[in-house]
A and B are shown apart, each in its own frame.
Chain A
């Protein structure tokens, strides 16, 4: 509500209850202030935003007052300005102002105020009062205490935005200083390099290490775009000089509210390292540089010849979750039109195929039901099989914000992941027993009468079959299966069942199982049972991994569906696309990733076109993948680097990275955001859509578009859920479904009615993993991601900062097992499964339970996927990457060297 207040004698309308300082500033009253940061709680310590309350004659700080009706304040009287100038003099005296070499010069709030108040060195009245203390450097940032003005902004950003609590102030008086971790050595603290503190610092006390002497602020230009890494879809502001990225700041995007993680802020150096800059054709086993014309000709001719020789079933394509929606659309169209089949898939198959299958069955739509920002208002958040802090770092910060505000947090994970430390209950279940845990929770919710009878009756079907199965899962029986005590099951059930608004968050810990679809159905059951769907801050929320994996699915880079999840088996859908594309289309669902690889091994798939994927590292059972790809007659790989997969190719086509091109990306919450060309691409490269278009043209089907936006227009026409997301509206950050040009988008799904009508309960029984530990392979092996690396490491491992946090692969093993096997930290151990064997260093960590180990999959020289099981979920065809049985053995260095020499 607007109320009237008096400012220096003049009436002014401000919003009641809001912070006075921000209200004044946004009304054009430029009150100075260094410690205020509207995103965190006010500190009120610089005392520069002082004002005088005319009624009480007291000086107060505008940043710690809220607007009240009838306030009468003095802001720019000589008295108040005098206080400000005096205080500014004091602050300047404890600040080492060598602006000429300072990274912040030109964007420093203190410098601006000194200018504004006319304080130059000749009018400085106080001798320097800063204390000499050493400069700190970490992998990503530099902290110069002599420039610190003790404003607390970094401390509060770390606490209240990132919830990492690495920083605090120590000492008193003007000895007070920012302190990281226990011993004050920033590099040794638990700082994970998100850089939120840098972004919060109003002066040059904290700055990006990589930006040092790379350019003065006024020489930089900036472009806003979407972070190219994970599915959170943070907006970034990229600062450029001479086509080099100097630094990155978080933009106030709907998904990140200005926050970033270490990859988004510091992870872009790869753009300039070892890029492919010429098309290559392999001749007699070695790559030879060729012209684009030659390359395109060769690819088009070969594909055409193979089609004529073998028929339409021998070719397949893998699309990429790192490419734009437009490129994915074009690629699936390419396969469907020119390969005459539906053999197009991408890595979503390895991550969330079971999500799509399960949620589509239960609700009628396979995507995240609610929005990221809604998490902050949940009463209870249930995180299952998602190591959110490392895989979706910015989402984890919102979860922790909710917990600080009073939400209950339940974490179900076999590992004591970081979020578990904030959880009210941590259910440390045995790998692969998710269904049992969930049935146990639902059993208790039901027996306690905490289910939502009304919701069940009015909005769901299939309840009685479902509840009969659940009835068999008493907490006691579940304890036997899962290893989680019945008390904890009950506690979790109470927290979830009693919450008014409960959100479920999950990721690959749920999906990458042979029971992946069952797991997802179970989560859907839980939401249906308690009526937690179709309202804000509730829902079943799969967190999608790669930057555009949601979008790649949406626009049809899946073997079974056309853009907009229209089944290839549906005659109406097929007819629509036949008309739109002007060709006859196949009505057979195509092969999935793993199926294509299997058929390649058998020689039934003979040619593949792989765009921006690296199955040699990402897919299960690498030895098998390698055999399969080598068995191909013709392999085209289109990438920005010479990946492990590209090395096996017959033709390599150099494409452009996300930050080098335009196009839209869809984040995990179904939000479409535009990516922009931030830097010019390397010479002699082309965008993926241009390359796909030229090959298509050469093969006799022109796919010519002036710009990506023309492709988006075509997507609008054929994809009902994207219909209203036109090139003109992409900056609005709309969430699909957005069926028309005046539709506002859909922040949460299934309001009032489910996409399929009624929510469907599914009776789900517990089925053990495909491979359980036995005498020969006594450990459970699980694989996954870590904060500092991304996918197969092709990008993140080229980035010095990220690489210096974690340089190589490892296996996490519990201290108990390490003791038994006589393994010390960093010892080499050999991990063996029925499929392969790798040697990695041991990392002793009680994050993993005894008898289980964990290996991150990003490291091609310690390839976890040589070990993993490619047993598939029967419905979604997702491989069981999260559980298999393995053996562990310590190897001594001498044996290793011998093996190396052999």
Chain B
């Protein structure tokens, strides 16, 4: 078994919310160490680790922190625990299995960027996580890992846990910020980016749960060690939630660069009995790409997936067997988007409706593929160019790759 950085403690606690059990395994040591260093050196450590965001866009975490810190203003740290991507369940595993790792990561980020408050924005449906995180924060406060004068230092920092209200787009960082502010969860125009004017107008770091839960290990093990794991441009390990037509669906933490084939065949136990593989949807629904058999050997890293016009995204892997009609899957994905588009910008709001109609028509045979495909793709490309947020911009990816595989 490979070394696990993020999930190493998951499943080993009696009460995951308890600080005691976490410190028993060396927890909060990284935070204490940071408090003896200056924030700048913490940022540099994260930069040197070359950690990239696990929430979808893969933005270098150290750079993000530096932008926020450079504003020299009270900043906020927000853990994005909205996990709305169909097929994703990795953040939940961390929050339920090792919540203090996340809390420690947030506190370190807070120290690095000069924040005194952090938020965890949790998908509303994750009621168990919500309670657990509340308990864990309370216990951390009791043990002085949150609150005033953390671990005897001058650093004061606290975390509030907030529930989302069931909107996928609220996982998008600017929509999330609107929602946290109590407003309608519409994405915002960038610039200004959250790192300069985010939550309540202050510099804000929004990081994915997995990203933040990786931080303590980077501090403890050092950036050098961390960047030796994975590939040159995608360091460390990654959680891959695998579902679909495999024998052992589940979430696997593997070094970046592990091949898709190894993930599916070795770790997930191969394709279900009696079935053969048709395609793999990698990266989730939003920016997901259907990869055919010919691409199975691709290493799972930001850069390698780019080479096959796919994106690592949040690491979601959905395996489809030969009985699946990709057109039906696409109709399902569009139904999802039709529900979840925030409705702000015209190409996304109406475009998805029209794409869905065309696809459904093709699926039920009322529209000839040759009539539908061009229109769909041209619409999707317009959306890709003109939509306000990545939700609308990226529907072209599953459509293009899916239609390629199934129809053409």
Contacts and interface: CB of A to CB of B under 8 A. Distances in A.
Interface residues of B, number: 29
B189 interface: yes
Contacts of B387: 47
Interface stretch (B81-89, B280-288, B374-382): B374-382
A476 B224 CA distance: 67
Given A45-B344, A127-B357, A173-B343, A90 B350 contact: yes
A171 interface: yes
A83 B385 contact: yes
Nearest to A35: B346
Contact of A91 (B338, B346, B382): B346
B189 A59 contact: no
A172 B340 contact: yes
Contacts of A173: 338-343, 349, 352-353
A696 interface: no
A79 B189 CA distance: 23
Contacts of B388: 44-45, 47
Given A125-B375, A172-B339, A46 B382 contact: no
A83 B343 contact: no
Interface in A23-60: 42-48, 50, 59
Contacts, number: 93
Interface in B135-192: 167, 169, 184, 189
Most chain B CB within 10 A, of A46, A47, A82, is at A47
A45 B385 contact: no
Given A59-B386, A125-B375, A42 B339 contact: no
A150 interface: yes
Nearest to B168: A172
Interface residues of A, number: 34
Contacts of B386: 47, 50, 59, 83, 87
Contacts of B184: 168-169
B255 interface: no
Contacts of B339: 172-173
Contacts of A47: 345-347, 386-388
Interface in A61-108: 61, 64, 82-83, 86-87, 90-91, 93-94
B174 to A, nearest CB: 12
B60 interface: no
Interface string A658-683: 00000000000000000000000000
Given A87-B386, A90-B354, A173-B340, A45 B345 contact: yes
B292 interface: no
A125 B341 CA distance: 22
Contact of A90 (B343, B344, B351): B351
B358 to A, nearest CB: 9
Interface in A92-135: 93-94, 125-127, 129
A40 to B, nearest CB: 14
B345 A93 contact: no
A315 interface: no
Contacts of B375: 125
Contact of B343 (A86, A125, A169): A169
B343 A172 contact: yes
Contact of B347 (A87, A150, A171): A87
Interface string A165-185: 000110111111000000000
A149 interface: yes
B347 A90 contact: yes
A150 B349 contact: yes
Nearest to A42: B189
A68 to B, nearest CB: 12
Contacts of B342: 172-173, 176
Nearest to A149: B346
12 contacts: A42-B189, A43-B344, A47-B388, A82-B382, A126-B350, A169-B343, A172-B343, A173-B340, A173-B341, A173-B349, A174-B338, A176-B344
Given A83-B386, A90-B354, A173-B339, 7 more contacts: A44-B189, A45-B344, A45-B388, A90-B350, A169-B184, A169-B343, A172-B167
In the A-B complex, the 8 residue pairs with the smallest Cβ-Cβ separation, listed nearest first, are: A176-B343, A90-B350, A59-B385, A47-B386, A86-B382, A173-B341, A64-B189, A45-B345
